[in-house]
A = this chain, B = another copy of it.
Amino acid sequence: MNILEKITQNNAAFSKSERKVAEVILANPQTAIHSSIATLAKMSDVSEPTVNRFCRRLDTKGFPDFKLHLAQSLANGTPYVNRHVDELDGPEEYTNKIFESTMASLEVARQSVDVNVVNRVVDLLTQAQKISFFGLGASASVAHDALNKFFRFNVPVVYFEDILMQRMSCMNCSDGDVVVLISHTGRTKSLVEIAQIARSNDATVVGITSGGSPLANECNYVLSLEVPEDTDMYMPMASRIAQLTLIDVLATGFTLRRGNKFRENLKRVKDTLRGSRYEKRGD
């Protein structure tokens, strides 16, 4: 795909002069795309047809087509592909790979979100008497984050890490309460039990989990996120980010539903934090 990578890989197939062209291009690709075939030939100290042959060897139609491909490779943000980390990767490689595959996963997640469910859940949340966020393991920090967000809305919001506290909290639920349960797999036993407890106490249960899972089956509403997880790392990574982004979506929907006046309230909450901070020069 990426023509720059292709140049480095095909290196063996190049002839001596073609390699000269490759070097010049790799050394300064940004200049290459703005040069004519003549100037590039001069820079590489070869003839114009050689440059042309070089382009064709890379399966492009000719020099202008090659420049197009090169320009696309140089455009920042190259396609976000889910690239797995390799054992031999250096810091530069794995950093970029992680960022890129996170972005790729978000794109997949975005497409799997059902906006109708989002809308109804936002409805529920705005009307809720009490909102609870529960998750375990890696999803606990997502629930924790949701607490932080919804707490600012001046809504009774609950979050516990302890499963006994979670159970007790759900026991005391009543009509009008919303319980949001977060789990990537949707197979965590105690979370499924909590869903059952909450529902039998007339709470509405929303699951941010994988569709068709045991947990999903116990929920009134399911916000399913299909996120490809790199299982080689044995750690939840992309799923968490997708869950958090979904929390952001819900929080945003919430504030929009509440209107402008409510937004000012948020600003006040933020302003009270000022005392705990060093002022920014110029504030």
Interface residues of A (CB under 8 A from B): 33-34, 64-65, 67-69, 71-80, 85, 87, 89-92, 94-96, 98-100, 102-103, 106-107, 109-111, 113, 115-116, 118-119, 122, 137-138, 140-142, 144-145, 148-149, 152, 185, 187-190, 192, 214, 232-235, 237, 240-241, 244-245, 248-249, 251-253, 255-256, 260, 263, 266-267, 269-270, 273, 276-280
Contact = CB atoms under 8 A, between A and B. Distances in A.
A45 B179 CA distance: 55
A252 B148 contact: no
A111 B192 contact: no
A278 B192 contact: yes
Contact of A71 (B71, B89, B111, B244): B71
A98 B267 contact: no
A39 to B, nearest CB: 13
Task: Kindly report how many copies of this chain are found in the complex they form together.
Answer: 2
Contact of A245 (B72, B99, B276): B99
Contact of A75 (B73, B140, B185, B277): B73
Nearest to A92: B115
B106 A99 contact: yes
Give the interface centre of A71, A118, A142 by most chain B CB atoms within 10 Å: A71
A52 to B, nearest CB: 16
**A-side interface mostly:** helix
Contacts of A118: 91, 95
Nearest to A186: B278
A2 to B, nearest CB: 10
Given A235-B152, A267-B234, A249 B75 contact: no
B76 A277 contact: no
A263 to B, nearest CB: 7
